[in-house]
Amino acid sequence: MSKKNVALLLSLLGLVCLIYGISRALANPPHAFAQGLPAPPATWSATDLKVSGQAAASVSIAAGGSGVQHVATCISANMVSAGVGSTWCHGNVRLRNGPSGSGTPLQQWSLTVPGSNNTVGVSQCDLNVVGSPNTAMTLEFDGICSSGGTVQTVNLVGYDAS
């Protein structure tokens, strides 16, 4: 075989290898495309705001059905004392596995507003608090402040797992 034919044969062989490599790459893309991973869960959120004299701020996500568990990923709760002559106000915020007032507390935070024109709050994300199957999840203050002008807010964000 002449040198010219060998060079042509090697060129053709290189071209075949290149085509084969490209076809394999297209048929099996890199893992960076996240093939086979489940879709991210759809999130839900709930919020409530109450002013003094109303019931305590509270949000609940109803039970999701057989085998469905609520997963809290982010909470925030704030208490503002804006009334003139307001006194100290203390409140507990509870994340409950179940309905308002009676579900088992999963986590709790204590907030105290020192007098009038002050704000306190808690905000935590990157949580992964899992509730029981087919059970509501609630985030709530445990009561209202007697001082005038107090505002409470609660926000609960999460997703459902099954």
**In angstroms, rounded to a whole number, what is the distance separating the alpha carbons of residues 67 and 61?**
15
Instruction: State pLDDT tens for residues 114-135.
Output: 777 788 899 999 999 999 999 9
Q: What is the pLDDT of residue 2?
A: 59
> What contacts 77, CB < 8 A, 6 or more positions away?
57, 93, 109, 111, 121, 122, 123, 139, 141, 152, 153, 154, 155
Ordered by start, the domain boundaries in the chain are 3-33, 44-161
Report which DSSP code applies to 32. G
* Domain at 44-161: CATH architecture: Sandwich (2.60)
Instruction: State pLDDT tens for residues 47-74.
Output: 999 887 678 899 999 999 999 999 999 9
Which residues are registered as beta bridge partners of 61? 137
**Closest to 147 (Cα-Cα) out of 91, 92, 85, 93:** 85
| CA 52 to chain centroid | 28
**Closest to 120 (Cα-Cα) out of 143, 147, 89, 74:** 89
